[in-house]
Amino acid sequence: MLYLYIEMNVMTSAVTASAALSAAALPFARATPARLQAAAAISRSTRTRRIDLVIAGPRGQVGSALCRQLARQQAALLAGAGLDLRLLAAFDRHGLAFSLEGLDPPAPTPFAPRQPRDVDALLDHLCRPRAEPALLVDCTASDDVADWYPRLLSAGVAVVGANKRANSRDLASWRQLQDCASVCGTPYRYETTVGAAIPLLGPLRDLRLRGERVLGLQGVLSGSLSHVLHRVHAGCAFSAAVAEAQALGFTEPDPLEDLRAIDLARKLLVLARECGFALEPADIHVEALVDAAKVQASGLDAALRAQDRRWRERVAEADRAGERWVVLAEVDAGGGRIAAQRVPATSSFAALPPGQNLVRIRTDLQDAAPLLLGGPGAGPEITAAGLLSDIVGAARELAWRHG
For residue 331, pLDDT beyond 70? yes
Question: Domain check: are 158 and 39 in the same one?
Answer: yes
Would you state the pLDDT for residue 75? Answer: 94
* Residue 231 DSSP label: H
Residues 87-135 pLDDT 10s? 999 999 999 999 898 888 866 466 889 988 999 999 999 999 989 999 9
The active-site residue, picked from 165, 267, 360, 362, is 267
Q: Please give the order of strands across the beta sheet that includes 371-376.
A: 284-286, 335-344, 323-332, 214-220, 356-363, 371-376
For residue 12, pLDDT beyond 60? no
Report d(CA 200, CA 399) in Å as an integer: 25
Which of 28-42, 302-316, 378-392 shows the lowest mean pLDDT across its residues? 28-42
Give the list of residues 6+ apart from residue 172 with CB closer than 8 angstroms, or none. none
Question: Domain check: are 29 and 159 in the same one?
Answer: yes
Question: Domain check: are 344 and 366 in the same one?
Answer: yes
Question: Domain check: are 315 and 185 in the same one?
Answer: no
Q: Is the dihedral of CA 36, 39, 43, 48 positive or negative?
A: negative
Residues 289-324 pLDDT 10s? 988 777 877 788 899 999 999 999 999 999 999 999
Question: Domain check: are 368 and 387 in the same one?
Answer: no
Would you state the pLDDT for residue 18? Answer: 35
The domain that holds 118 is classified in CATH as: 3.40.50.720
Residues 228-256 pLDDT 10s? 999 999 999 999 999 999 998 888 888 88
Would you state the pLDDT for residue 111? Answer: 84
Report d(CA 306, CA 316) in Å as an integer: 17
Residues 123-140 pLDDT 10s? 999 999 989 999 999 999
Question: Domain check: are 63 and 86 in the same one?
Answer: yes
8 Å CB contact between 53 and 20: no
Question: Domain check: are 182 and 48 in the same one?
Answer: yes
Would you state the pLDDT for residue 109? Answer: 60
8 Å CB contact between 290 and 238: no
Would you state the pLDDT for residue 403? Answer: 74
Question: Domain check: are 363 and 391 in the same one?
Answer: no
Q: What total number of domains does the chain contain?
A: 2
The boundaries of the domain holding residue 98 are: 5-195+383-401
CA distance to 81, 181, 260, 295, per residue, from 238 (Å): 47, 43, 14, 15
- Provide mean pLDDT across the span 273-296: 92
Report d(CA 39, CA 84) in Å as an integer: 8
Instruction: Please give the share of the chain, as a percent, with pLDDT higher than 70.
Output: 87
Tell me which of 5 and 81 has the higher pLDDT: 81
Report d(CA 162, CA 118) in Å as an integer: 23
Mean pLDDT of the chain: 87
8 Å CB contact between 140 and 119: no
- Provide mean pLDDT across the span 74-79: 95
Question: Domain check: are 160 and 209 in the same one?
Answer: no
Tell me which of 313 and 23 has the higher pLDDT: 313
Residues 334-351 pLDDT 10s? 999 999 999 999 999 999
Burial of residue 369 (CB within 10 Å: 0-12, 13-18, 19+) is exposed
The domain that holds 350 is classified in CATH as: 3.30.360.10
Question: Domain check: are 326 and 233 in the same one?
Answer: yes
For residue 38, pLDDT beyond 70? no
Question: Domain check: are 132 and 209 in the same one?
Answer: no
**Which amino acid type is present at position 365?**
L
For residue 30, pLDDT beyond 70? no
The three-class DSSP label of residue 299 is: coil
For residue 13, pLDDT beyond 80? no
For residue 389, pLDDT beyond 90? yes
Q: Is 267 a catalytic residue?
A: yes
For residue 62, pLDDT beyond 70? yes
For residue 218, pLDDT beyond 50? yes
Would you state the pLDDT for residue 164? Answer: 95
Question: Domain check: are 228 and 255 in the same one?
Answer: yes
